[in-house]
């Protein structure tokens, strides 16, 4: 049989030889013609043409003042071509008129420029007649991996070490980038990796990812920790204006409080400096379902008021060390989803719940902890915001926001009970946090239904929380139809889900998972923005996430040619523009996501990346 490693090495070498012999230096040209725009692409035969179509042929998009693309340490890698007539447009700013900023995952190594119409062949979509060199080798290496059990990380290292000829550098870059897509084992929507390096300690997401609830783990992801220079170069080549990522609390302050980790500090300084040097605006999230596991073990994390002081101390370090370059801060990502999934159903970190409301939890109380965690989360956010305003804003002039997951809720029928149930769902899912942030108290329906299980703000806390944001980040994907379920209020005990006394259904009873794309409901985004305008005084809003899911178990080329995603994003960008024209105070838009990442529910099988 021979040595498996020797067999694997031989396959790698043969694949490289075959690829180089067949396709030379790997530089190919591809022309795409469109009635409105001509794109010339070089160095990538399999470039994702949907991206260029979206950015260059969508009138509504091109009319916006700028287009910034961002990723997220939550997902990273961003290339975007600059808009031809907008080359000097400013980056996303909450002090400027409404703009759209895209946050797609990065295309690999593409160059875009306008070509004279006469030189462009009459083809809607172009492709090479022969297989892409990197595609062929990619398939060969994947087969070698399956047959011999070699991990992708080893293959990447081999390629990087052995393919050194200057003529093959671009080819190597493409191949390694493709291979790295298979190493998406990262925490939540993050790409940082380095889970056990340079003094970093586990977060609650690491614990979740290693629990077997989701395929893979949080150890590697796409390894931005080591590849940030390459990532930023890709962003710059794409023309990125903004990049959204999260800082890992347990990387920067391994014990959750106390000494700062110099290695972690160095990494984030390097990443931010690299972004700024390329004219890419950093948008930073402080907590993305990844609070330190040490604090969770010590006092229960967000179910304890102790988290407030520790979070403020962590935020202080971030503001002090990075605030001279970072002007856009989000304290908590998807606060409502984080609390419901983490403390009621137990489906996400820190996986606390109680029977019969949650599943597979070893500790927790679904009837009280969601309200308790949400309460402390609001106080932590408001306290950190006050710190920034008092200590840093005068010099740094940045903004601090808060992020929520947003569905549009519509009545299942036109009956009065369903209409009221839809409004009640908005109050519970959105008003839970927005009502305190705008008015200083929880919605009346929550105070009524939850009773003493819902904490009460003191007078000082009300003053602290009220108005404690410069913008609201919204993550929007789809719409729910709502039925009244008031009978749930007669049952004891009750959790958060029973307290809102309604049931939610996807449009046409389709579930946008397990192979189904997120339903294309751009009108729902308009509904959400109209709700914020009417109910909460039209606050500044940035769409932090919006995108369509893909099944990555299929053919690679089929995955790339995802026309439905083009239509989804095009429709939502248009809907956002319509909302702005109708008076919405929307300031920016980020696509989810720039590159495929490890998703909290699906691992890497179902992903959102443009690349």
CB 242 within 8 A of CB 70: yes
What three-state secondary structure class fits 338? helix
Residues 514 and 549: their CA atoms lie apart, in Å, by: 10
Helix, strand, coil percentages (3-state) for the chain, rounded to 5, are: 45, 15, 40
Peptide bond before residue 356 is cis, with ω within 30 degrees of 0: yes
Task: Verify whether residue 115 is a known catalytic residue.
Answer: no
The list of the chain residues with pLDDT below 50 reads 1-8, 12, 16, 19-133, 136, 143-154, 167, 176-196, 218-220, 510-517
The b/e string for 54-76 (b: 16+ C-beta within 10 A; e otherwise) is bbbbbeebbebbbbbbbbbbbbb
**Residue tagged active-site, from 189, 296, 334, 369:** 334
Three-state DSSP state, 84: helix
pLDDT of res. 452: 98
298 catalytic per annotation: no
Global pTM reads: 0.71
List 405's β-bridge partners, or say none: 475
Q: Which CATH number fits domain 49-117+184-607: 3.90.1170.50, 1.10.275.30, 3.20.19.10, 3.20.20.80?
A: 3.20.20.80
User: Of 11, 192, 296, 545, which residue is the catalytic one?
Assistant: 545
CB 183 within 8 A of CB 224: no
Q: What is the pLDDT of residue 124?
A: 28
Strands 471-484 and 502-506: antiparallel
Residues 6+ apart with CB under 8 A from 48: 107, 560, 610, 611
Quote the CA–CA distance of 429 and 425 in Å, as a whole number: 6
Structural domain spans, the chain: 4-33+127-178, 49-117+184-607
């Amino acid at each position: 049989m021979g040595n498996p490693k020797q067999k694997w090495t031989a396959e790698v070498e043969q694949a490289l030889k075959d690829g180089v012999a067949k396709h030379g230096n790997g530089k190919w040209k591809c022309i795409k013609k469109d009635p409105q725009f001509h794109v010339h692409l070089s160095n990538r035969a399999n470039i994702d043409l949907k991206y260029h179509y979206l950015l260059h042929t969508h009138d509504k998009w091109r009319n916006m003042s700028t287009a910034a693309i961002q990723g997220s340490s939550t997902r990273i890698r961003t290339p975007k071509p600059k808009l031809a007539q907008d080359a000097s447009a400013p980056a996303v700013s909450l002090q400027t008129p409404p703009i759209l900023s895209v946050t797609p995952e990065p295309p690999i190594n593409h160059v875009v420029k306008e070509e004279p119409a006469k030189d462009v062949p009459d083809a809607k979509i172009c492709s090479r007649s022969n297989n892409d060199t990197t595609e062929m080798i990619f398939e060969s290496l994947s087969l070698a991996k399956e047959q011999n059990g070699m991990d992708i990380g080893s293959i990447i290292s081999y390629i990087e070490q052995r393919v050194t000829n200057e003529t093959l550098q671009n080819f190597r870059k493409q191949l390694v980038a493709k291979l790295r897509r298979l190493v998406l084992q990262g925490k939540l929507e993050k790409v940082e990796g380095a889970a056990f390096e340079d003094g970093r300690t586990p977060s609650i997401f690491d614990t979740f990812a290693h629990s077997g609830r989701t395929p893979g783990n949080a150890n590697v992801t796409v390894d931005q920790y080591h590849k940030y220079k390459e990532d930023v170069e890709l962003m710059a080549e794409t023309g990125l204006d903004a990049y959204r990522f999260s800082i890992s609390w347990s990387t920067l302050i391994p014990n959750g409080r106390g000494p700062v980790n110099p290695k972690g500090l160095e990494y984030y300084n390097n990443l931010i400096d690299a972004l700024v040097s390329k004219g890419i605006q950093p948008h930073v999230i402080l907590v993305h379902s990844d609070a330190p596991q040490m604090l969770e073990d010590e006092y229960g994390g967000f179910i304890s008021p102790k988290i407030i002081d520790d979070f403020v101390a962590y935020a202080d370090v971030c503001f002090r060390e990075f605030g001279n370059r970072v002007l856009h801060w989000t304290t908590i990502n998807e606060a409502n989803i984080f609390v419901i999934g983490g403390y009621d159903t137990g489906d996400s970190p820190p996986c606390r719940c109680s029977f019969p409301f949650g599943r597979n939890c070893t500790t927790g109380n679904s009837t009280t902890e969601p309200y308790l965690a949400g309460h402390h989360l609001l106080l932590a956010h408001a306290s950190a915001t006050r710190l920034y305003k008092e200590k840093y804003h005068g010099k740094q002039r940045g903004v601090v926001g808060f992020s929520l997951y947003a569905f549009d809720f519509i009545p299942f029928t036109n009956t009065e009970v369903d209409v009221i149930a839809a409004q009640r769902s908005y109050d519970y899912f959105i008003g839970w946090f927005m009502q305190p942030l705008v008015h200083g108290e929880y919605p009346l329906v929550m105070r009524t239904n939850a009773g003493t299980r819902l904490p009460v703000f003191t007078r000082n806390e009300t003053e602290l929380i009220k108005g404690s944001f410069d913008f609201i980040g919204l993550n929007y994907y789809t719409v729910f139809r709502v039925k009244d379920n008031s009978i749930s209020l007669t049952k004891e005990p009750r959790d958060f889900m029973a307290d809102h006394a309604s049931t939610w259904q996807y449009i046409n009873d389709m579930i946008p998972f397990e192979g189904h794309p997120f339903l294309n409901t751009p009108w729902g985004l308009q509904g959400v923005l109209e709700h914020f305008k009417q109910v909460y005084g039209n606050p500044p809003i940035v769409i932090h996430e919006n995108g369509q899911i893909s099944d990555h178990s299929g053919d690679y080329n089929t995955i790339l040619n995802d026309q439905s995603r083009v239509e989804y994003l095009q429709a939502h960008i248009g809907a956002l523009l319509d909302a702005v024209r109708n008076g919405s105070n929307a300031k920016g838009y980020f696509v989810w996501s720039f590159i495929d990442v490890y998703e909290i529910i699906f691992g890497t099988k179902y992903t959102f990346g443009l690349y």
